[in-house]
Amino acid sequence: MARVTLQTIADRLGVSRMTVSNAFSRPDQLSADLRQKILAAAADLGYAGPDPAGRALARGTAGAVGVLLTDELQYAFIDEVATGFLAAVVTELAPTGLGLTLLTTTTSDDVISARDVALDGAIVYSCKRESTARDWLVRRKLPLVYVDQDPAPDIASVNVDDRAGARAAAQHLLDLGHRRLGIVTIDLDEPLGVVVDDRIEPAGHPQRQRMLGWMDALDAAAVRPLVVRAPANNDDEADRAARLLLEHDDPPTGVLCFSDVLALGVIRVAAQLGRDVPGDVSVVGFDDNPLARRSRPSITTVRQDVAGKGRAAAVALMAAIDDARTGEHRPPRHAVLPTELVVRESTGPAR
């Protein structure tokens, strides 16, 4: 079967090739009746439309934006905080017609998605400080927005007030009378273990800010916590870190967790060890992941506006793309969204 082209359709209808092209790419240039006739003829001939790569080249746009994730791509589909963030981004982008492409920091000699995929811009979402993939996006001079990242002067950013939220969480346990406290955090660059040195400085922006917030309150109360570091934010690592903490020679009566996923791990392991939550150990999470409400007991946590963060990131990225297209140089916006302590059933007075 001969290849169907725009000219094939034009010859059938007795119109110009440009008229057929306009039916797909500039419909406002044609009457509704003429466009419908062209689309019907195209469908009858089995023509799906102009080649997307060619259309992108002609327009000078890719029609898609990327989201760069530190974790494997399945993280975007199984972590409820990540899915909530991405859903808000997609909802905000929908009226623009821009598609969303998930990028991973995993690279090989032949394929580096951050280098090779056609994009109009990208959101860098909670990536390591040392990220080759992020460096490629910067080198490409793409419009970017950093989310849960250290702010950069010339790149828009959206963060939450992690430090204030963590400080409120720690103060909550102190106000309940807890003085033997534990912290379960994550550090993607380090293995599972108890942190024994005095300098506790995880690599990621949220990890550092939350640690600073916890220590703001604990230092003021002269409380030195037992800190356990997990290498990932998933159920298996949560359970391993929780067991390391709760089976310590001097286990804490209150535990501050980097996330609700880690907090749920502490609750699970406490039950396995025969310890009541909150009677024997109080647990505080972070994020207000939907699982915090589903857990039994429900988890006291620090709420961040995940949907608001996604919307703000999408709006900032569209503004950066518009500026790049028009040549404007407006100062990038650095948004910091508030956090809120939500007290539920997993915390109680120290015994």
Residue 114 has what pLDDT?
87
Q: Which of 121, 127, 125, 158 is nearest to 141 (CA)?
A: 121
Domains of the chain are 6-50 (1.10.260.40), 64-160+306-337 (3.40.50.2300), 162-304 (3.40.50.2300)
Are the C-beta atoms of 177 and 349 separated by less than 8 Å? yes
Q: Per-residue pLDDT tens, the chain, 351 aa: give them.
A: 568 888 899 999 999 999 988 888 788 889 999 999 999 999 898 887 766 555 554 555 778 999 998 766 777 788 899 999 999 999 999 998 888 999 887 665 566 788 888 899 999 998 877 778 888 899 999 999 999 999 999 999 999 999 999 999 999 999 999 999 999 999 877 777 787 655 567 778 999 999 999 999 999 999 999 999 998 888 999 999 999 999 999 999 999 999 999 999 999 999 999 999 999 999 999 999 999 999 999 999 999 999 999 999 999 999 999 999 888 888 888 999 999 999 999 999 998
Residue 118 has what pLDDT?
87
Residue 58 has what pLDDT?
54
Three-class secondary structure assignment of the chain: CCCCCHHHHHHHHCCCHHHHHHHHHCHHHCCHHHHHHHHHHHHHHCCCCCCHHHHHHHHCCCCEEEEEECCCCCHHHHCHHHHHHHHHHHHHHHHHCCEEEEEECCCCCCCCHHHHCCCCEEEEECCCCCCHHHHHHHHCCCCEEEECCCCECCEEEEEECHHHHHHHHHHHHHHCCCCCEEEEEECCCCCCEEECCCCCCCCCHHHHHHHHHHHHHHHHCCCCCEEEEECCCCHHHHHHHHHHHHCCCCCCCEEEECCHHHHHHHHHHHHHCCCCCCCCCEEECCECCHHHHHCCCCCEEEEECHHHHHHHHHHHHHHHHHHHHHCCCCCCCEEEECEEEECCCCCCCCC
The pTM (predicted TM-score) of the whole model is 0.84
Q: Which residues are within 8 A (CB) of 277 and not within 5 positions of it... i.e. 6 or more apart? A: 266, 267, 270, 271, 283, 297, 346
Are the C-beta atoms of 238 and 264 separated by less than 8 Å? yes
Residue 71 has what pLDDT?
65
| Angstrom distances, CA of residue 3 to CA of 6, 9, 21 | 10, 11, 16
Are the C-beta atoms of 288 and 302 separated by less than 8 Å? yes
pLDDT in tens, 85-113: 999 999 999 998 888 999 887 665 566 78
Residue 222 has what pLDDT?
97
